[in-house]
Amino acid sequence: MAGVDALLIDLDGVVWVGGDPIPGSVGAIDQLRSHGVEVVFLTNDPRAAPDFYAAKLTEVGLPTATDEVITAGRAVAAFVARREGNGGPVFVIGSEGLHREVRAAGLTPCDPEAADEARAVVVGGHDDFHYAELRAAVRAVDAGATVYAAGRDATFPMPDGRWPATGAILAAVEYATGVRGVAVGKPHRFIFDLARDRLPADRRIGMVGDNLDADIAGGREAGLHTTLVLTGSTRPDDLQRSQVRPDLVAPDLAAFARMVVADRHES
C-alpha cells in the first residue's frame, strides 16, 4: 500500500450493495480524496453506461464525473470495435445501456432476425435475458460470429442474496454454441488499461475489490497493489481456499481508508 496515490475501486460489494451504500464507504472515499488519492470506479456491471453510475455516486454523496467511471460494457464495446472494425453489425445480449455503449463505439446492434449477419455476439448480464436471445446467438456463431462478453462473474451481491451476473449468461451461450467467448471485463487487462488512461501516467495505482477472480487476479496481472474487502462476494473461508492472494485484506472500505491515511502520514 505504501506509495499508492490513485485507486481503482469496484462498486458492487465495495461501495454499495444494490445501490445502497455500505456503511462507511461514502466517508471512506471522501477521506481518500481529501488526502490526495485520485479515484476511478471500475465495475463489471454492464447494465448501465458510466453516466448512470456517476449520477448514482453523486446522489449518494460522492460527486463523480462520467469519465471517473469505467464499466465492463464500455470496455467490451471498445474492444469489439477495435477487433471487428467500426460499423458492425453485432448481436447484443444485454440491457439498453449495453446497446448504447455498443452504438457509441461505432458498432451497429442488429435484431435477432438478422443475427446470422453479425460479426460478433456481445454478451452482458441483464434482467430480461430471454431464450430468443440465446437462439439468435447460436445462429450468429454458426454463421461465423465471435463471442465477446463483459466479464465472467457468476454472480454479484444484492441485499437479498446473490444475483446471476454476466458469466451465467455467457456460460449458456458458450454451452449452446460450443465456442468460448472473450471476456473483456475484469480480470482482462484491457479494462484496467482503460482505467489507467483516466489517470496521469506518473500515478502509483492500487485496486480495491471484493472479488478474488475478477478484481484481485486482474489487478495483480496489471501490476497493481491489490486490496480485498470482505463486504461483497468473498468470505474469509473463500480466501483460504483460493490461490489468488491480495496484497492486503480489509474488513471494509472504511478500514482500508484509515490504513491509507495512516500510511500517507508516515511517509
Alpha carbon distance 45, 53 (integer Å):
10
Alpha carbon distance 131, 109 (integer Å):
18
Q: Which residue has the cell 453523486?
A: 58
Sign of CA dihedral 72, 200, 29, 239: positive
Residue among 5, 12, 210, 215 flagged as catalytic? 12
Residue among 5, 10, 210, 213 flagged as catalytic? 10
Check if 252 is active-site: no
Check if 10 is active-site: yes
- Choose among 159, 128, 123: nearest CA to 18: 159
Active site residues: 10, 12
